[in-house]
Every structure is written in C-alpha cells, then in structure tokens.
Amino acid sequence: MVTISDNVMYWHLPIPAPEETVYSVLSRALYCNGRPYGKTLKELTRTRQATSLFSVFPPIIFHISEQVHPHHPWSSIECILKNHTTLPYFIYFSPPEYRSHIFNNCNSLKFIEDLHKTLGLTVYPYRASPSCPQFCTLCLIEDLNQVGFSFYHREHQLPGVNTCWKHRCTLYNGCQICGPYPIKRCPLLPPGICNCVGGISPLAVQEVTSLTEPLFWLTKESTHLLDLPTPNNGNTYSALKSAAISQGFMQGAHLDYKMLSLALEKRFGRNTLDQLNIPTAQNGRFEKWLARKFQLSRHSRRQPHTIHTLLFIAVFFKSVMDFISILESEPAQTISFLKKQPDDKTARVSLQSILELRDNSTLGISGIASALNTTPNIIIRKIKQVKTHFPLREGTLRRVGTSNLRDISNALKAGDSKQEIAFRHKCGEWIISLIELDNPKLSALRKAAKRSRLVHKHRQNLYNLQKNEPALTRSKLHSKHYAVYDYLNKHDTDWFNKRLPPTNCKQEKSNRTERKNWKIIDQNAARTIRKHLLEEHQHTKPKWRTQTGLLIVAGILSQYHANPKRFPSVKRLLEKICESRDVFTERKLSWAITEMKRQGIGLSINQLRRVAGLTAKDVREKSDFISEFARMVNCEMAEGAFFSTQIQSQKLTRQENQVID
C-alpha cells in the first residue's frame, strides 16, 4: 500500500475506473496487496469498521488526498467528489452558485461534515447511502471483459435504486453463505468475491417480484443525473410550480396539494411510494412535504431532496431532459441558498418611525412598509419584537367576521399550527399575522400551548414505548427513539428523570480487602527458592537454574515482571544462583562424572553424553574441563577412550615442564 518517491512515502492506490466508488478502489488495493484486513483498515479509516466508506462522501477522502502521490487523480478532493461519489446526484437540482460554493470549499473537513446536515442526508426520505455495497452480476462480467477487474459502480449506490438500469435485473450485496458485505474478517473485498471455495452465491438486495415501469423510470433517471450536464440557470421550484399550474393542479388561486398527492399515487402506485418511504397522504390529508416543496418564501435555504424532485418530474414531464430543456429555455428568478447578508432595509427601519405612522395616519402594514421603503414582513417582525398593539383595520375585520375572528384567536391560543388554521378557516397566513398584531399576547400563548402539546405528545410516546417494552432503558431510548429522548431530556427534565431514572453507574461501597504486604511476599518467595534448591537430590540430574523457572516455583512470575522493585531479596538471590548455559553444562558434566564413578562405569564420550543428556559436540567442547575434573575425582577411564589418551598427554606435558624447570 506504500511506495517511496523522493524520500517521501505515498499510498500506492490503483487508478480508479470511471464511476468507481471509494470503497471499491480501497478494496482492490487491499485485495491485491494481501495485507491483513483489520490492520490496514484501521490505518485507512482509523477504525476497524468499513461502514464509514459507504457514506455519500466518506471522510477518508481527506486522508487519501494527503497520502497519495501528487500526480494521482485522487490528490484532488474535487475529483473524488465529482467522479467517484454520489454527491452530484444530491446537488443536481441545487442553484449553480451553491454547487460552485460546495466545490470551492470542499477542501475543508468542517464544511463537508456540515454538508451532511445542509443537504438533509441524515433525514433523507429513503436511505442516502446503502448499508452494504451493491453490485450487478452482469455488470461484473462486463467489467472483467473490458477492464480486467470488477468494481462497485456508484450508480448502483443511489437512493431508491435496487435494480440495474442497464440490464433491468436486481442488485446484490453479498453472499448467501458468507452474508452481506462487508464480510466478517474480510471487510474490504471486490464484488463477486467471498470466502466460499466453490464461488459466490449472490445475495439479492431484496425480493423483487416484478420491476414496475415507474420504479424503473426512477432508477434510470437517477442514474442519468450522474452523467447529465447540470443546469446553469433557472429555478427548480418555480419551474415545477409553473408546470403544476399549467396542468391544472389548482384550487382557486392556490395549488391543490391533495390533487398532487393523488397524481403521485397514480403515477407510481401506493406500494412503490411505501417502499421508498415517501407517503403522500395520511388520514385523508396530504403530507406537509408536498406543500413545503413549493413554499420558497419560508424555506429558501432548504436544499431540495432530489428524490422528491424526480417524483414531481415524473408527474409533469416524460424525463429529466425534458424538464431541464424547459428550465433553461425559460429561466426563473434564482434564489440563493447561501447564507444571507444583513439587509440594509432592516437596519435603517426604526420602531419609532413605525409607531409614529401608526398613530398619525390611517396606513396599514403594507402602507407603512411602502412609506419606509421596506417590506411588510420586516414591519411585522419589528412590531412583534416589542409586543406592541397594532389594531385591525375595519375592512379586515369586516372581511374576516367577528365569529371567525374569535375562532381563529381560540385556535391560536390552543397552539394549532398556522397552516391548519388557514386551511380550516379558509384564510391566509397574512390575516393570521394581523390578528396576532391586534392581540400581542396571542403569540406567547400560542407558543406556550404548542410547547405543552409537544411535551404531552412526547410523554405519550414514552408511555407507549414503556408499555410495549417494560424493560426500556435510557440507552435503548437514546439509540432507537432519539427525538423522544432529546426533547424530554431538554424541555421536561424533571418528569423525564422521574419516569425513566438515570442508571446509577457507581458501584456500592464494599469492604476493601487488605493491601498486599510486598515485603512479606518477597521474603516468603526467597525462602521458597532456597528450600527448592536444598531439596534437589544429590543423585538426581541437575536442572537449569533460570530466573523464569525459579520465579514459577516461587509463584510470583507475573508480579515480579510487573514490578521487580517489590522483590529486592528475590532479586539478590536470583543474581547469585541463576546460571548461564555454559555454567549449567559444566555442572551437569560434573554430576555425570561423579555418578559414573559411583556406579563404577568407565569414562568415555558415549557413556558420558548418555548420562549427562548432552550431545557429543557439547562433550568434546568441554574436553579440557572433563579431563581436569576426572583427574580431581580419580574417575577411571574406559579402555581406548578419548579422555584416557588426552589425560596421558597432559601428564607427559606436565613432566616435561618439570624437567625443564
């Protein structure tokens, strides 16, 4: 995985194939390299889990761009994001300036981490990235024939894609025997490879009985978003709204969202939408995301969910290409998704000027905004900040009606949402804002009631969860139902602690055992070692006196190695009695010679090595020591033995030395 160039070590990664994912390139590199999976995976991702490599843009890309050679394509993070991740799919319908903003700041790790939240990937309707890498068996065969190796295609990892658009067959994510990727103990494997001896038995992503035309359309168009040129102008929201209006999805002057939900169900079918986890209606009411899709004034910073946009395009147009051609031919006014700078109009409008025009003229909110050269929303915001009274005009009161005005006020006090109130009483949110200005206490009452209702809702959710699971703990609630845990823990702490008390991690106090007296342990261990040496029988074969062996006899091997300073007596004793291999060999030979003399056996190399348990080579190397010790103990030599000749030669040498002297 590492190459050296110009005295600098770089990762050796293969050149990625077109549309190949980050996980695929690392899998090929490791599979060909043959290094241990766990160790290499920890070096790459700083963890032994490969799941982080499946995300839309893995954080590892920053580490890769720093470690590969400067001439490698992946030295550029922008290249990785554009060509080897699914990020282009999620920002395809975003404004051009926002796409440029992403790639201009992609070298910042903090910006990329925040991008997950900005794009809404954590709350995406359908999973933003697969839990296991997916592949097509027919694409795998084509890749082997064309480029010589198989790899994971990024178009197979898109949301809502469970089939191959090219071959119209289901995708696979592992082996029926080994399990889904990443396989245990082999977290990085190319597609089509597993631990089975007879080859892989592909594991299907899910049982697809029949591929419907709408689902295949969604798969094909999602894949094409990675290759189609991005639109350079126009606004997606405005273009979709214009298409809805032109095709008659209207109720008076407003869009008919119920009709839109029915059109989506007719185009895709209820089963397909449920499979994608995108409901369009519930209890006879359309889902709020349908209306939010077209309300730019309140959600101008919200990034469009690509899968939602594709669903509407399927209703209004034949393909994404038709939609893009209309979008670029009639560009709508673009809306910036970047952080807005403070407005000069807001800064120069003072509350005093607003109150003077209110008291000295008959102007309404719109008239005051025109007089001060600002917008009505700014005027409303200024008045709400100080909670001052702005009376309803007679024309507005007459148009709303006294009874309807009372019902709207009661609904606000009850904490109902403004959208529900507007739908129920057939009025706009502008009228509701004017009613709030007429009674400044309504806003505070509505917020308090809304908060109370939300607390009651989360309390009821916790009641139901505890009813279904009596042994529910805080950790389980945090992992499975984080919204309930987070809200109650922040806004209803006392009740939450009483209902689900925090686990006391502190252990009960127990009587502590007495500390070890290391001085006594040291003395007893030294006494045990001395006793062991004394008990060695004189006629038994000697044993090698090593530090480890004697510590095992004393029973303090692990304690001694942990801290030898605790055992000064044992340490001094070991320094005296522990012997080297050479000393042990001489002691064993001495014992063997003494034993042979006691049994009346003549001294020879073969007899000596058998009794001592040594090799002939060891005996010959100690021939001088053996001759000297045999002479000292008067051990008889075997007839014709090597040592008898050596002893006679030593005697002659000593006699010659005496004559010379």
Segment 1-9 mean pLDDT: 46
- Structure-token pair, residue 215: 């689902």
- Structure-token pair, residue 236: 């997606």
Q: What percent of the chain has pLDDT over 70?
A: 84
Q: What is the pLDDT of residue 326?
A: 80
Expressed in angstroms, the distance from the first to the final Cα of the chain is 76
Against a cut of 0.75, is the pTM above it?
Answer: no
Sole residue written with tokens 């009452």: 445
Neighbouring residues of 431: CB distance < 8 A, sequence distance ≥ 6: 396, 400, 408
Q: How far apart are alpha carbons 387 and 547 in whole angstroms?
A: 86
Neighbouring residues of 442: CB distance < 8 A, sequence distance ≥ 6: 409, 412, 413, 435, 436
Asked whether 635 and 593 are in contact (CB, 8 A), the reply is yes
Q: What percent of the chain has pLDDT over 90?
A: 7
Closest to 541 measured CA to CA, from 596, 579, 604? 596
Asked whether 436 and 443 are in contact (CB, 8 A), the reply is yes
Query: Could you count the other beta carbons within 10 Å of the beta carbon of residue 497?
Result: 13
DSSP 8-state secondary structure symbol assigned to residue 72:
S
Q: How open is the CA angle 133-139-143, to the nearest 5 degrees?
A: 100
Closest to 347 measured CA to CA, from 371, 382, 398? 382
Helix (H) or strand (E) holding 229: none
Asked whether 212 and 266 are in contact (CB, 8 A), the reply is no
- The model's pLDDT over 195-246, given as tens digits with 9 standing for 90+, comes to 888 888 888 886 554 567 888 898 899 998 888 888 776 678 778 888 888 8
Asked whether 10 and 69 are in contact (CB, 8 A), the reply is yes
Closest to 149 measured CA to CA, from 275, 17, 345, 257? 17
Q: How confident is the model at residue 627 (pLDDT cuts 50, 70, 90)?
A: confident
Asked whether 605 and 641 are in contact (CB, 8 A), the reply is yes
Q: What is the pLDDT of residue 526?
A: 92
DSSP 8-state secondary structure symbol assigned to residue 255:
E
Closest to 549 measured CA to CA, from 581, 574, 521? 574
- The model's pLDDT over 23-59, given as tens digits with 9 standing for 90+, comes to 888 888 877 776 666 676 676 666 666 777 788 878 7
- Assess whether the previous peptide bond of 182 is cis (omega < 30° from 0): yes
